[in-house]
Amino acid sequence: MSAAEENAAILEVADMRVWYGTRGDPVRAVDGVSFSIGAGETLGLVGESGCGKSTLGRGTLGLLPPMASVSGSVRYDGRELVGMDPKELRDMRGPELGLIFQEPMTRLDPLQTIEKHFRETLRTHEPDLDDDEVRRRSLEALAGMGIPPTRFKQYPHEFSGGMRQRIMIALALVLNPKVLIADEPTTALDVIVEAQILGILADLRRNFDTAVLLITHNLGIVAEACDRVAVMYAGEIVEQGDAREVFAEPAHPYTRELLRATISLETTGLNYIDGAPPSLIDPPPACRFHPRCPNAMAVCAELAPEETTGGGGQRVRCWLNGPEERIPEGGREPLEREEIAAAEEA
Amino acid sequence: MARFIVRRLIASIFLLIVVSAVVFLLFYVFPSADPAQLRAGRQANADQIQAIRESLGLDKSVIAQFWIYIKGVFTPLDLPGTDSHGPLYFGHSYQSNADVKDVIFSDLPATVMLVVGAVIVWMGVAIPTGIISAVRRRSFLDRATMITTLIFISAPVFWLGLVFLYLFADDVGLIPIFPGIGSYGAADTFAGKVGAMILPWLVLGLATAAIYARYLRSQMLDVMEEDYIRTAYAKGLPDKRVIMKHTLRSAITPIVTLLGLDVAVLLAGNAILTETVFNIPGVGAETFNAIKRSDLPMIQGITLFGAFFIVTLNLVVDIAYAYLDPRVRYD
């Protein structure tokens, strides 16, 4: 990471861990993740379902269920959010840290009109606003999303999924948050609405210098909308860097396989990664990807890879990328097949 | 909405006719004592019994009896041989000759008073308890409350009534602070009747509150898992607002259904156990006597009143739903 980038970072996450308590061993949904986002920058967070992406997004805002525990550091604008007084953090949610969820159909309270949703949001953070001002600002935010003022007093069930998602976004943006975490904001929507929403997010960082963490499993969206990308696997970020460079020259086999699995018009056959994402209760030792990795070496099952710099300037955790001097003797031998099968079984 | 209500009311009338038919049928199909014989007493001869039978109309066919009954209740026709007239003529008691309607109306105030007070107790206890238990889930308070409610649910109301009398009744109680058995009938002022109702209210109210508290708790826990609750937190709303404005508002709707049905059923005579334990002359006690004496007109009348309450309160619940949940529309 360059010094300039570091200076501009508005959100800095360092060695964050989120574990969910269960009856048995904890689920390590996020396990030692570090990244940062600068003002006006969009970071794409990609990975398979169940790799901890959403947990990471929610954990950043302290919105985890009671049985989750968080450690590490989340710094927003120089302030530490982990362990912050809940009331103080609550006041920051909305005006400072905005969150857009997936599943727009169920994200609005079915018993309240759109007007009430907005009034409640605005009044909570700016109690002195009068009715006219609340109305003006709400309608302005809705107009930005293409929702006409005539529908202000309607209930959520009177809107389509795409409209509800745009209302959700308007609701998050009406307070002008400096950091916006968008958790698969387009997953449930058709491509036209998806394009609209990506356009809105792009406007946002241009016009308001908003930092956006865009969580998605769609690499096309990342390529289109993100400055940088972080690839997550089994609770860890395995590769992160400039989006164009990572896609042009993926340094981690997982990123490479993920890119190969993307479908486009030129696709002639389907590529997939053998096996399923590992259990987060008892993840594979050392490199968590080694049981599924086509390039696995003996060392991958022995030692956890260290962070190195890849060909595109990205940060990557993979022994293929070194550091050479840390690989024990014979570690470069291909991992034996039986071992792969056994690890997969586990 | 108006059309919906009219449609429902018309359907209700048919429903009430069907209920009458079923009660008639049950009364004649299943063995029961001959009302004429009961009325005549032990010394009566066959002629006397036959005369009574004719005067009560019991010599006519079941169909004819049913037709006369339906005419009396639902049509404005005068009935030959009686001094009361339809509509809403429910007949006279076989045993006491009293007008069924008058008897029910004289019993109703005690039952209404019992039920209304109990509803206030149970909602007043159940709503805060349910909310606190859900919010402080798995805390000591939650567990203590849930165990207590389980005890109140498992305990039969008549037993609970006796325990409360043993503890608090002013004649036999260990801590004699509230009026005990029979004090309702003995009281001649409204204040006296209120005092007499304290123990019955507590017994019926707490027994039902236990069910409601548990139900509300589980509803609250369900709603707390909803996506829009997380949205509310993500907007930075204070916990209290999320719980009262978003969670409770959704969780309370099914409680309204339950409340409507429970009130209807209690008014229809289901308060029988509480009324019996505390010797309150209400609809429940009347039902018990009517069944004991094979008094078909009384049984019919009380059943129809009960059905009427159930149908009406269901309608009220459905209408209330349209206000509680904007997604519900009747057209």
Within 10 Å of residue B10's Cβ, how many Cβ atoms? 10
Q: Which residue of A has its CA nearest to B250?
A: A111
B-chain residues within 8 Å CB-CB of A110? 228, 250, 325-327
- Find the CATH number of the domain harbouring B167: 1.10.3720.10
- Asked if residue B55 belongs to a domain, the reply is yes
Q: Which domain holds residue B68?
A: 2-74
Whether B85 shows a pLDDT value over 80: the answer reads no
- Domain co-membership, B62 together with B175: no
CA of A117 to nearest chain B CA: how many angstroms apart?
9
CA of B140 to nearest chain A CA: how many angstroms apart?
16
Q: Which two tokens stand for residue B84?
A: 């009361």
Whether B30 shows a pLDDT value over 80: the answer reads no
| Overall domain count for chain B | 2
What distances in angstroms separate CA B182 from CA A266, B100, B179, one per listed residue?
90, 24, 9
- Residue A17 dihedral angles phi and psi, to the nearest 5°: -130, 135
- Domain co-membership, B151 together with B257: yes
CB within 8 Å: B325 and A110: yes
CB within 8 Å: B246 and A109: yes
Provide the edge-to-edge strand list for the sheet that holds A236-242.
A97-100, A179-183, A211-216, A42-46, A228-233, A236-242, A315-317, A307-309
- Asked if residue B85 belongs to a domain, the reply is no
Q: Which residue of B has its CA nearest to A168?
A: B231
**Contact present, B40 and B23 (Cβ < 8 Å):** no
- Residue A69 dihedral angles phi and psi, to the nearest 5°: -125, 145
Among residues A208, A241, A201, A255, the alpha carbon closest in space to that of A224 is found at: A201
Q: Which residue of B has its CA nearest to A109?
A: B228
3-state helix vs strand vs coil in chain A, percent to 5: 35, 20, 40
- Domain co-membership, B70 together with B158: no
DSSP string, A254-268: HHHHHHHT---TT--
Q: Which two tokens stand for residue A77?
A: 């604008």
d(CA A238, CA A33): 9
CB within 8 Å: B231 and A94: no
Among residues A117, A100, A20, the alpha carbon closest in space to that of A57 is found at: A100
**Contact present, A89 and A81 (Cβ < 8 Å):** yes
Question: Counting Cβ atoms within 10 Å, is residue A61 exposed (0-12), middle (13-18) or buried (19+)?
Answer: buried
Q: Which two tokens stand for residue B250?
A: 């959704």
- Asked if residue B331 belongs to a domain, the reply is no
- Domain co-membership, B217 together with B263: yes
| Overall domain count for chain A | 1
- Residue B331 — very low, low, confident or very high, per pLDDT cuts 50/70/90? low
- Asked if residue A1 belongs to a domain, the reply is no
- Domain co-membership, B174 together with B249: yes
What is the number of residues in chain A?
346
| DSSP-derived pairing of the beta strands A27-38 and A68-76 | unpaired
> Prior bond to A323 cis, omega within 30?
yes
What is the number of residues in chain B?
331
Hey, is A169 helix, strand or coil? Answer: helix
Lowest mean pLDDT among A209-213, B122-126, B213-217: A209-213
CB within 8 Å: A107 and B237: no
Q: Which domain holds residue A162?
A: 109-171
pLDDT at residue number A2: 43
CA angle A254, A259, A260 (to 5 degrees): 95
CB within 8 Å: B236 and A93: yes
- Domain co-membership, B68 together with B120: no
DSSP A240: E
Residue ranges of chain A with per-residue pLDDT less than 50 = 1-7, 340, 346
Q: Which residues of B touch A (CB under 8 A)?
A: 226-228, 230-238, 241, 245-246, 249-250, 324-327
Residue type, A143: A
d(CA B203, CA B273): 11
Mention every residue, 6+ apart, whose C-beta is less than 8 A from residue A135.
Answer: A115, A152
CB within 8 Å: B246 and A106: no
- Asked if residue B49 belongs to a domain, the reply is yes
Q: Which residue among A92, A106, A125 places its CB closest to the CB of B226?
A: A106
- Asked if residue A155 belongs to a domain, the reply is yes
B-chain residues within 8 Å CB-CB of A108? 228, 231
Whether B181 shows a pLDDT value over 80: the answer reads yes
Q: What is the 3-state secondary structure (H, E, C) of chain B?
A: CHHHHHHHHHHHHHHHHHHHHHHHHHHHHCCCCCHHHHHHCCCCCHHHHHHHHHHHCCCCCHHHHHHHHHHHHHCCCECCCCCCECCCCCCECCCCCCEHHHHHHHHHHHHHHHHHHHHHHHHHHHHHHHHHHHHCCCCHHHHHHHHHHHHHHHCCHHHHHHHHHHHHECCCCCCCCECCCCHHHHCCCHHHHHHHHHHHHHHHHHHHHHHHHHHHHHHHHHHHCCHHHHHHHHCCCCHHHHHHHHHHHHHHHHHHHHHHHHHHHHHHHHCHHHHHHCCCCCHHHHHHHHHHCCCHHHHHHHHHHHHHHHHHHHHHHHHHHHHHCCCCCCC
d(CA A134, CA B309): 46
CB within 8 Å: A95 and B227: no
pLDDT at residue number A286: 83
d(CA A298, CA A284): 14
- Asked if residue B171 belongs to a domain, the reply is yes
- Domain co-membership, B180 together with B246: yes
- Asked if residue B83 belongs to a domain, the reply is no
CA of B5 to nearest chain A CA: how many angstroms apart?
23
Provide the edge-to-edge strand list for the sheet that holds A79-80.
A27-38, A9-20, A68-76, A79-80
| DSSP-derived pairing of the beta strands A307-309 and A236-242 | unpaired
Q: Which residue among A98, A111, A125 places its CB closest to the CB of B325?
A: A111
Residue ending a domain, among B74, B91, B108, is B74
| DSSP-derived pairing of the beta strands A228-233 and A42-46 | parallel
Whether B37 shows a pLDDT value over 60: the answer reads yes
pLDDT at residue number B77: 59
Name the CA radius of gyration of chain A, rounded. 21
What pLDDT, in 10s, does the model give residues B315-326? 889 888 888 888
Mention every residue, 6+ apart, whose C-beta is less than 8 A from residue B147.
Answer: none
- The residue that leads in pLDDT, B271 or B82, is B271
Q: Which residue among B233, B249, B327 places its CB closest to the CB of A157?
A: B327
CB within 8 Å: A106 and B233: no
- Asked if residue A163 belongs to a domain, the reply is yes
What pLDDT, in 10s, does the model give residues B134-171? 999 889 999 999 999 999 999 988 899 999 999 999 88
Mention every residue, 6+ apart, whose C-beta is less than 8 A from residue A111.
Answer: A155, B249, B250, B324, B325, B326
d(CA A120, CA A112): 10
What pLDDT, in 10s, does the model give residues B49-81? 888 888 888 888 888 888 888 877 777 655 555
- Domain co-membership, B70 together with B105: no
Q: Which residue among A108, A155, A157 places its CB closest to the CB of B231?
A: A108
Chosen from B221, B227, B242 to mutate, greatest number of chain A CBs within 10 A: B227
d(CA A85, CA B156): 48
- The residue that leads in pLDDT, B318 or B121, is B121
CB within 8 Å: A93 and B234: yes
Alpha-carbon dihedral B96, B101, B104, B108, rounded to 10 degrees: -150
